[in-house]
Amino acid sequence: MRPYDEALAQLLNDVGSVATASNATESVSLLDAVSRVLAEDICSPNNVPPKDNSAMDGYALRLNEANEQGQWQVVATRLAGDASALTVGPGEAVRIMTGAEVPDGADTVIMQEEIIRDGDSISLASEQGVSAHKVAENIRPVGNDIKEGRVIVAKGTRIDASHLGLIASVGINTVSVYRRPVVAVISTGDELIEPGQPLPAGSIYNSNRYFLLPMLEKLGCEIIDYGTLKDDQALFERVFKEASEKADFVITTGGVSVGDADYVKPVLDALGNIDFWKVAIKPGKPFACGRLSKDDTQKAGYLLGLPGNPVSAIVTFMLLARPAIQQFSGQAAEPLAFLPGRVTQDVRKRPGRMDFQRAHYVMGEDGRLKVTPFNSQSSGVLSSIAESNCFMVLDREQGSLEAGAKVKILPFREWL
Ligand code: AMP
Ligand code: MG
């Protein structure tokens, strides 16, 4: 059995990346860029904010230059969006609203709650007078958020809503992204029926297709959905070949073990250079991968053959297929973000495989994370994924654990 880290490293080495290919980028408008991978560093063409502006509703003035009466005369009002020429002299103040540009000459904004206004004269409410304030208070300086020229979102970032907001804030509305990976999805099995149909004796509903498609969508993939294939060697051969000519990845589920109806292996042997791995993870052992062509010079899809069992399929997808597709998409490497936690109960485990137990973590009263494994770790129980928020990850050589032991937590809900 292959250790997980080794299997993943080899897979990543095999699949490569669109980032190194020519013609792999396209220009898209900002709202179409979500879930895509940036093919360029986004540098800010300007400062944000572009000018000093007020953080409060109040008065802009020269703090240490009141008139002889210790007051300032209100000479104008400035609303957000108003950029007309305006200068504040000694003993003068401008009524200013949040977000409005600080007029020339003013060095401080006093919030209105700290001002006493009498007609057009204002004075400071505090008994300590000027010493209760600081020059420059309540002014958001130019470039405080973003300095002109700074990289605000780096090449290789998968763009989310926060990146869109940030890119918009510097005035950019078009970005260069890598093309989407094309992924063919094929379910296999005579026993599979689509939900919505009556269930004949001996059949089960196809569930794998229904989590794979949205997870691929989230990875920004263009999907070719081949539905379900009956276990028929000639059919597999024809469809796998067609899919490999159209797609960057061909993802199959089922048929990778050695049951009588598992035709995937002979077909793959005939079509390409496919490795069959027993990865030392639980759940999810059998996994097939490799190029669906015998000729290295020929462009052909890369097969990711997931186990049929839904829990094994989703776990191998998350741990092997997902990072492979991310890397191929041009996304910068993203190591698994483990959190430290303590298990709430005794856990049985035999050394030999890396265990990804479905579990639920919360913060305990002591501020530390505590994690409780789902009551069934059977690889047939898909609700173990739906009702959990993380894997409790137990290393390969780890044996049984007692309640309170330190464990690694791997949150997974954002992948779903
Ligand atoms: P296989 O590897 O084809 O022998 O499949 C292993 C187990 O997973 C069998 O019990 C299959 O019925 C089940 N299975 C395979 N594909 C799916 C699917 N798409 N949805 C739900 N169960 C499946
Ligand atoms: Mg099968």
Query: What is the position in ligand 1's atom list of the atom closest to the CA of 191?
Result: 12
Protein residue with least CA distance to atom 15, ligand 1: 308
Look up the pTM and report it.
0.87
- The residue among 89, 85, 53 whose CA lies nearest residue 74 is 89
Task: State in Å: Cα 416 to ligand 1 middle.
Answer: 20
Top mutation candidate among 192, 197, 215, 381 for ligand 1, by most atoms within 8 Å of CB: 192
Query: What is the position in ligand 1's atom list of the atom closest to the CA of 209?
Result: 19
Give me the amino acid identity at 43: C
Q: Which ligand is nearest to the CA of 208?
A: 1
How large a percentage of the chain has pLDDT more than 70?
99
Task: State in Å: Cα 308 to ligand 1 middle.
Answer: 4
Q: Which ligand is nearest to the CA of 308?
A: 1
C-beta neighbour count of 171 within 10 angstroms: 11
Protein residue with least CA distance to atom 5, ligand 1: 308
Model confidence at 128: pLDDT above 80:
yes
Which run of H or E residues covers position 42? strand 42-43
Model confidence at 298: pLDDT above 80:
no
Say if CB 131 and CB 113 are below 8 A apart. Answer: no
Model confidence at 273: pLDDT above 90:
no
Say if CB 166 and CB 173 are below 8 A apart. Answer: no
Residue 296 DSSP code: T
Task: For ligand 1, say whether the CB of 310 is within 6 Å of any of its atoms.
Answer: yes
Model confidence at 297: pLDDT above 80:
no
Q: How far apart are CA 40 and CA 25, in angstroms?
A: 9
Per-position b or e across 176-195, b if 16+ CB within 10 A of its CB: ebbbbbbbbbbbbbebbeee
Q: How far apart are CA 416 and CA 413, in angstroms?
A: 5
Ranking 121-125, 296-300, 311-315, 344-348 by mean pLDDT, the lowest is: 296-300
Give me the amino acid identity at 162: S
Per-position b or e across 32-48, b if 16+ CB within 10 A of its CB: ebebbbbbeebebeebb
Model confidence at 132: pLDDT above 70:
yes
Residue 199 DSSP code: -
**DSSP 3-state assignment of 92?**
strand
Give the pLDDT confidence of 369-398 residue by residue, as tens digits. 999 999 999 888 999 999 999 999 999 999
pLDDT of residue 260: 66
Task: State in Å: Cα 231 to ligand 2 middle.
Answer: 7
Say if CB 31 and CB 164 are below 8 A apart. Answer: yes
Residue 176 phi/psi, 5-degree rounding, is: -95, 125
SS3 content of the chain, % helix, strand, coil (to 5): 20, 30, 45
Task: For ligand 1, say whether the CB of 253 is within 6 Å of any of its atoms.
Answer: yes
For 66-181, list the strands marked E by DSSP. Answer: 72-78, 92-96, 108-111, 115-118, 121-124, 139-140, 151-153, 174-178
Task: State in Å: Cα 39 to ligand 1 middle.
Answer: 38
Top mutation candidate among 199, 209, 230, 253 for ligand 1, by most atoms within 8 Å of CB: 253
Q: For residue 362, give every residue at least 6 positions away whose Cβ sits within 8 Å of its Cβ, in sequence order, or none.
A: 369, 370
Ranking 295-299, 358-362, 371-375 by mean pLDDT, the lowest is: 295-299
β-pair type (339-343, 369-373) = parallel
Give the pLDDT confidence of 60-108 residue by residue, as tens digits. 999 999 999 999 999 999 999 988 899 999 999 999 999 999 999 999 9
Task: For ligand 1, say whether the CB of 311 is within 6 Å of any of its atoms.
Answer: no
Task: For ligand 1, say whether the CB of 254 is within 6 Å of any of its atoms.
Answer: yes
Mean pLDDT of 107-117: 97
pLDDT of residue 335: 87
The 3-state secondary structure of 319-381 reads: HHHHHHHHHHCCCCCCCCCCEEEEECCCECCCCCCEEEEEEEEEECCCCCEEEEECCCCCCCC
pLDDT of residue 265: 80
Q: Is the peptide bond before 49 cis (omega within 30 degrees of 0)?
A: yes
Q: How far apart are CA 87 and CA 62, in angstroms?
A: 11
Query: What is the position in ligand 1's atom list of the atom closest to the CA of 208?
Result: 19
Say if CB 308 and CB 253 are below 8 A apart. Answer: yes
Task: For ligand 1, say whether the CB of 257 is within 6 Å of any of its atoms.
Answer: yes
Mean pLDDT of 210-234: 96
pLDDT of residue 322: 97
Ranking 68-77, 127-136, 264-273, 330-339 by mean pLDDT, the lowest is: 264-273
Task: State in Å: Cα 266 to ligand 1 middle.
Answer: 18
**Which token pair is 295?**
């000729």
Model confidence at 5: pLDDT above 80:
yes
**DSSP 3-state assignment of 211?**
helix
Task: State in Å: Cα 210 to ligand 1 middle.
Answer: 13
Model confidence at 401: pLDDT above 80:
yes
Model confidence at 288: pLDDT above 70:
yes
β-pair type (121-124, 192-193) = unpaired
Say if CB 162 and CB 32 are below 8 A apart. Answer: no
Q: How far apart are CA 336 and CA 318, in angstroms?
A: 11
Task: For ligand 1, say whether the CB of 309 is within 6 Å of any of its atoms.
Answer: yes
Protein residue with least CA distance to atom 14, ligand 1: 308
Mean pLDDT of 348-358: 95
Task: For ligand 1, say whether the CB of 305 is within 6 Å of any of its atoms.
Answer: no
Query: What is the position in ligand 1's atom list of the atom closest to the CA of 256?
Result: 2
pLDDT of residue 184: 98
pLDDT of residue 266: 84
Query: What is the position in ligand 1's atom list of the atom closest to the CA of 309?
Result: 8
pLDDT of residue 143: 93
Model confidence at 22: pLDDT above 90:
no
Task: For ligand 1, say whether the CB of 192 is within 6 Å of any of its atoms.
Answer: yes
Packing angle, helices 264-271 and 233-246, rounded to 10: 50
Q: How far apart are CA 211 and CA 309, in angstroms?
A: 13
CA 304 remoteness from chain centre: 22
Query: What is the position in ligand 1's atom list of the atom closest to the CA of 187?
Result: 19
pLDDT of residue 320: 96
Sorting pLDDT into bands at 50, 70 and 90, what band is 264?
A: confident
Question: What is the pLDDT of the chain when averaged over all its residues?
Answer: 94
Task: For ligand 1, say whether the CB of 227 is within 6 Å of any of its atoms.
Answer: no
Mean pLDDT of 1-18: 94
Model confidence at 186: pLDDT above 70:
yes
Model confidence at 239: pLDDT above 90:
yes
Mean pLDDT of 168-196: 96
Residue 89 DSSP code: -
Query: What is the position in ligand 1's atom list of the atom closest to the CA of 228?
Result: 19
pLDDT of residue 261: 67
The structural domains of the chain, ordered by start, are 4-24+180-328 (3.40.980.10), 42-48+145-178 (no CATH), 53-140 (2.170.190.11), 339-415 (2.40.340.10)
